[in-house]
Structure 1
Amino acid sequence: MKKYSLLISFLTLIFLSISCSDAYRFSIEKPVKAILNESVTVKLIEENDKPINQVKFYLNGKEISSTGNAALIQTDSLGVGKHALVALAFFNGKTKKENSFIEVFANSKPTIYTYKIINTYPHDRNAYTQGLEYYNGFLYETTGQRGQSTLRKVAIETGEVLKKISLNKKYFGEGMTIVDTKIIWLTWQGKKGFIYNLDTFEQEGEFAYNQSSKGWGITHSDTKLMKSDGSNKIWFLDPVTMEEKGAIQVYTNDRSVNYLNELELVNGKIYANKWQKNTIAIINPKNGIVEGLGDLRGLEKEMAKTQKLVPDDEVLNGIAYDAENDRLFVTGKRWSKLFEIKLIKQ
C-alpha cells in the first residue's frame, strides 16, 4: 500500500510540474507612483517567458496604443487619481485579462495658508452645520442629524434665524447651494436630494443620486453643480437634469485627500472642508489637484476660549463666500461663532 501511495505522489508531482510549465502567468509592470504631466510606461510580463501573440491595453475603458507588450501613457490628459488599467493577452488561441491601475499624483506641493480673523459674529450653538452659503446679504444654512435637520435663512450680524423649515425626520440633512431661485439640499444616506424655492422654502422637487451613494457637500459654477460624497471624489452634475456627468479625484503631491465635506466655489477654485480636520483644501476643479491648504486649527483654540467642543464631532464645517465684497465666512458644527477670515499665504 505504501508503494502505491509513493507512486501516486510521484505521478502527482510530475503532473503538477507539467501543468505549471504549461501555464501562463501574467503581471503588469508599472511605476508605483506616477506624476502628473510625466509619461508612464506599462508592460505586460509573462513570468515564464512564454510567447504572446498580441497585447492590448485599456485605460479607463478605452483602448490605448501599444507596441509589443508595452504602452506609453501620457498623464497630462488623465488628471490625478487612480485610473483603471487592463491588459488583454492573446496566446495559443486564448485570451487572458489582467487588471491593475495607474495612480497619478500632483506635480507640485500645495501652498499653505494661515488666516486672519476680520470679524466675529454670533452663530446658533445648536446648529449642526452641514451647508453654508452667502446670498444677497444673508446666510443660508443647512443642519444635520436625523430629526434635527433644518434649512435656515440667517442674519449675519446677529445670527438670528429669520426663516426655518425642518427636513423629514427619516433623513439626515447635509450640504446645500443656491442656483438662481432654487435651493439644492442634499441628504446623507437617503440617496436623494431636494429642491426648494428660495423665497418660500417650499419643496419643488427631488432627485436621485447615481454613482455616488452619499451626499456630503455641494456648490456650483455657472454651468454645473459640484458634489462631494465623503470620498476623495467631487462629482459634476447637470444643473437642469441633476444627472452626474463625471467626477474628479482630489490629490496632493503625495496622497489622496478623502472625507471631502462642505464645498464652496471661491474665485474658480473649490474650497472644501475635510471632515474632522480644521483644514480647508483649495482644489482645482479642472484636474483635482489640491493647490492650497488653509490651516485653521487656531479657530478651534479660539472657540475653546468660550465653549467646550466635543472632539471629532463639533469640528470646522461651513464655508460661505461673498464674492461682491470678497468676504470669506467659516463656522463649525454647533459652534457659537461665525468667523469672517482672510487667508494669508505662508
Structure 2
Amino acid sequence: MRQESFDFLQKYLNNPSPTGFEKEGQKLWLDYLKPYVDTYFVDTYGTAVGVINPDAKYKVVIEAHADEIAYFVNYITKEGYIYLRRNGGSDALIAPSKRVNIHTAKGTVKAVFGWPAIHVRKPEQEKAPNIETIFLDCGASSKQEVEEMGVHVGSVVTFEDEFTVMNNKYYVGRALDNRIGGFMIAEVARRLKEEGKQLPFGLYIVNAVQEEIGLRGAEMIAHRIQPDVAIITDVIHDTQSPMYEKKTAGDLACGKGPVITYGPAVQNNLRDLIIQTAEETETPFQRAAATRATGTDTDAFAYAGAGIASALISLPLKYMHTTVETVHQDDVDNVIKLIYETLFRIEDGHDFRYFS
C-alpha cells in the first residue's frame, strides 16, 4: 500500500465516529476523496457522497458505512460512577478494564470500565458482564464533579483503542467495521482518477451513516440518489477461530479473498457479473449464503423505491464488534481490485433484469 493511503487509513480509523455522531470522520473521508471526484454532497444526517460524472443519467453506487458502535451515558450515581446504554451492538462482555473517551462539549474526558478484582468478587458477581452491571469511572467522586467535566446523560462514549499492524500481515483495531470499507471505496475512486479511467455512467461513492442501528443512512441516501446499481462493501465473520460452528456460520477465512454473498436481496445477474470479474482478473474470492436479509446496507438499497440492482462484496474480519477487529491486508487489496474491475464491466444503461 502506498504511504499516503496508509496514513489516511490510520488517521481515519483512529478518529471516533459513533453512530449518529460521524461528522468528524466524514470530514476526514471527504477531504481525502475530493481530489478524485467531480463533485460531492452531504445529506442532513451526515452521509457523504463523492460523484464522478454527475450529469450522467445512469447511476452506479459503491457504498460502505461510516459509523462505529459506541455507548451513551444513561445514569450518573451520586458517587460519580457512570452507567450506559448501547449505541449499536456494543458488547458489554469486552468492556471491563477497557479505556474509553467520553465526548463532551468541553472536550474528551478519559474514563475506564471498572470491575471488581477476581479475589473479592462474590459468587453472584461471577456472571458475565452485561449492560446493567458495567460502569465507567472517570476519576470523579460525585455526580456534580462528573457534570462539571461536561459529562451528561446522552454524552457519547467510544473505546480508546487505536489502529495497529500485526506481523506485517493484518490490520487490527476498533471500527474496521466498517470504516475499512470507506477506505476501500475511496481507493477505488483514487485509482480511477490517477489511472485516467473513464466510466460511461455516473459513479456515486457513498459513505453512509447509522448502519449499526438499522441501515438508516443507506435507506435515506438510496431514496435521494435513486441509482440503477449499488455495490455494497461491508465486513463478514471469519469463522476459523474457536467457537464458530461452520455448519451454520459458513466456512470463511481471512486471507482467502473477498466474500460474494447469495441471498434474496442480492441481484443475481449483478452478483454473477462480479464473480465473472473475479475469475477473469484472477482475484481470489469466497462465497456466503444469507437468509432473508444480508444484514448490511445491501438490503436498504435493494428494496429502495422500485428496487435497485444490488450486490454485496464483503471483507472477512475476525472478532467483530470488539476493539481488536482483524483483517488481512491481501483481502483489503483484493476487495478494492474487485470493485474497481467490476465497474468496467457495467455498461451505460446496463439492464440487469432477469427477463423482459
The TM-score bracket by the shorter chain reads under 0.3
Q: Greater share of strand residues, 1 or 2?
A: 1
The structure with higher relative contact order (CA 8 Å, sep 6+) is 2
The normalised TM-score by structure 2 is 0.22
Instruction: Specify which structure has the higher proportion of helix.
Output: 2
Larger radius of gyration: 1
